[in-house]
């Protein structure tokens, strides 16, 4: 038989989001909280992000990934929050029965009053780009290489080409260099890098690694182990330009070509997903389309900075605790009046997508991403047809998450408001 037990809040995932959510939920009065983590230790992806640059917002100091994780793990331990490692969640039912599995306990079920989804994301594989060529050993997603190098001490290769200039790709260019590999080039399909300027300077320029924008891999050579790749320049529609092909001999190709929130469990339980973010649709409480099921961190939408993950997760934890305490008024639960938050020109999505004024905190941070690089533009917010604010930005780019803050006080002045639209206006 399958054992069934219960918890106030079950948190799926013990990475940065799950940890911060757990701590906040506990501090806000939740009773039994259980974190289910599939890896061998808490901390999630932070354990392999051994570079520094984490925590400037949260702790006002620069930490490495494992150090940042440790600050939260310590709080989890101090607060006596329960967790299970090496435990895979197999299924969550709509009424919040969580089926999980591990070596020691086998299959077991936990009935939760609230669930916080914090499973993180996975990397897009080569197939998602349809890169042609052979399929030899030596092609890794950047994150897999990061785990091998930073946690297990193995060097995947000695001559490296990296496709994709997102932050993981850039960081791995430096890591592989410091561990003794030669990184020959970083290629980026887009005409701009998806990574932080600081990483381009400190991970590439410092080591003389060229960054080729508007370039992609068009062929892979080597039947057993990778022998080389061909790069070509691409036109405005991403098509390779004949005559620009250039061969690079290398034994390793790292792919840093995007992250996808891992929502198979969410989808399985019936949570509504947003096709743009691939994450759940949430309201101001970070609650999904299923009552009492919350989402935060990279499972909700892919973040650039862990500090914002922690902040968002803490909100999810607080809201889940409130839900469990039944602190929400009965009529609030109905949330009969919801304002839609919509992405206007230049904006790809917003999180959250709806707001209930009665349920929101005094301040609500709305995060969003833009669809292209805009210089000297304005981030405008419209309440129905009325433009409420217009903030000048020297530059916005898809690689950097943006935010606006809504206040309860402001929204209460618009009792009939139906839609808040966020858009980019070019100067």
Binding to another protein, residues 85-124 (CB under 8 A): 86, 88, 90, 99, 101-107, 122-123
Using CB under 8 A as the binding rule, whether residue 244 contacts another protein is answered as: no
CA–CA separation, 396 and 62 (whole Å): 24
Q: Taking CB under 8 A as the rule, does residue 60 contact another protein?
A: no
Q: Is 237 in the site for another protein (CB under 8 A)?
A: no
Residues 251-310 that bind another protein (CB under 8 A): 251-252, 267
Residue whose CB is less far from another protein, 152 or 386: 152
**Residue 180 DSSP label:** T
152, 330, 362, 416: which one contacts another protein (CB under 8 A)?
A: 152
Please list, residue by residue across 55-72, b when 16 or more beta carbons sit within 10 angstroms of its beta carbon and e when fewer do.
Answer: beebeeeebbbbbbbbbb
Structure tokens at 140: 């890794």
Which of 170, 166, 215 has the alpha carbon at shortest distance from 193?
Answer: 166
The least distance separating another protein from the CB of residue 211, rounded to whole angstroms, comes to: 11
Window 168 to 187, contacts with another protein (CB under 8 A): 175, 178-181
Give the position of tokens 């520094």.
Answer: 52
Can you say whether residue 145 is alpha, beta or left, with left for phi > 0 and alpha for psi between -120 and 50 degrees? alpha
Max CA distance (Å), the chain: 67
Site size toward another protein (CB under 8 A) is 83
Using the rule CB under 8 A, give the single segment among 202-210, 285-293, 329-337, 404-412 that binds another protein.
Answer: 202-210
CB 394, min distance to another protein, A: 5
112 CB-near residues (< 8 Å, 6+ apart): 6, 7, 8, 9, 10, 34, 96, 97, 98
Binding to another protein (CB under 8 A) within 337-356 occurs at none
In the region spanning residues 321 to 340, those forming contacts with another protein, defined by CB under 8 A, are none
Binding segment (CB under 8 A) for another protein, from list 11-19, 110-118, 138-146, 291-299? 138-146
Q: Which of 225, 340, 387, 391 touches another protein by CB under 8 A?
A: 225
- Separation of alpha carbons 388 and 112, rounded Å: 41
Q: Which of 57, 94, 135, 363 binds another protein (CB under 8 A)?
A: 135
* 194 binds another protein, rule: CB under 8 A: no
Peptide linkage before 370 cis (omega within 30 of 0): no
| Residues contacting residue 416 through CB under 8 Å, at least 6 positions apart | none
We find the least distance from the C-beta atom of residue 134 to another protein, in angstroms, to be 4
Bridge partners of residue 10, in order along the sequence? 34, 115
């Amino acid at each position: 038989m399958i054992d069934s037990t219960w918890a106030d809040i079950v948190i799926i995932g013990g990475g940065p989001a799950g940890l911060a959510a757990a701590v906040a939920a506990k501090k806000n009065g939740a009773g039994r909280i259980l974190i289910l983590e599939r890896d061998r230790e808490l901390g999630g992806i932070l354990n392999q992000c051994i570079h520094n640059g984490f925590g400037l917002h949260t702790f006002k100091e620069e930490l490495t990934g494992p150090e940042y994780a440790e600050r939260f793990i310590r709080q989890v331990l101090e607060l006596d929050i329960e967790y299970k490692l090496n435990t895979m969640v197999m299924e969550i039912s709509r009424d919040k029965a969580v089926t999980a599995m591990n070596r020691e306990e086998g299959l077991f079920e936990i009935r939760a009053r609230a669930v916080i989804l914090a499973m993180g994301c996975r990397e897009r594989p080569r197939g998602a780009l349809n890169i042609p060529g052979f399929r030899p050993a030596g092609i890794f997603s950047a994150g897999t290489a990061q785990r091998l190098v930073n946690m297990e001490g193995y060097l995947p290769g000695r001559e490296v080409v990296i496709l994709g200039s997102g932050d993981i790709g850039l960081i791995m260019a430096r890591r592989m260099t410091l561990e003794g590999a030669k990184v020959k080039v970083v290629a980026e399909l887009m005409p701009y890098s998806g990574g932080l300027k600081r990483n381009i300077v400190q991970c590439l320029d410092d080591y003389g690694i060229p960054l080729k924008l508007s370039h992609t891999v068009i062929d892979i050579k080597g039947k057993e182990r990778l022998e080389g790749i061909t790069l070509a320049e691409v036109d405005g529609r991403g098509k390779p330009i004949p005559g620009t092909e250039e061969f690079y001999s290398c034994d390793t190709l790292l792919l840093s070509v995007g992250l996808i929130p891992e929502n198979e469990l969410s989808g399985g339980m019936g949570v509504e997903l947003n096709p743009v973010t691939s994450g759940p649709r949430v309201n101001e409480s970070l609650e999904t389309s299923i009552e009492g099921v919350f989402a935060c961190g990279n499972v909700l939408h892919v973040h650039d900075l862990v500090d914002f993950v922690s902040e968002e997760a803490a909100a999810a934890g607080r809201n889940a605790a409130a839900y469990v305490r039944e602190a929400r008024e009965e009529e609030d639960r109905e949330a009969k009046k919801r304002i839609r938050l919509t992405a206007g020109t230049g904006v790809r999505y917003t999180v959250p997508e709806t707001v209930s004024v009665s349920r929101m905190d005094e301040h609500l941070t709305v995060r969003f991403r833009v669809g292209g690089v805009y210089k000297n533009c304005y981030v405008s917010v419209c309440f129905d047809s009325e433009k409420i604010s217009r903030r000048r930005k020297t530059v916005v780019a898809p690689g950097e998450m943006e935010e606006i803050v809504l206040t309860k006080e402001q929204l209460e002045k618009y009792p009939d408001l139906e839609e808040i639209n966020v858009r980019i206006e070019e100067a």
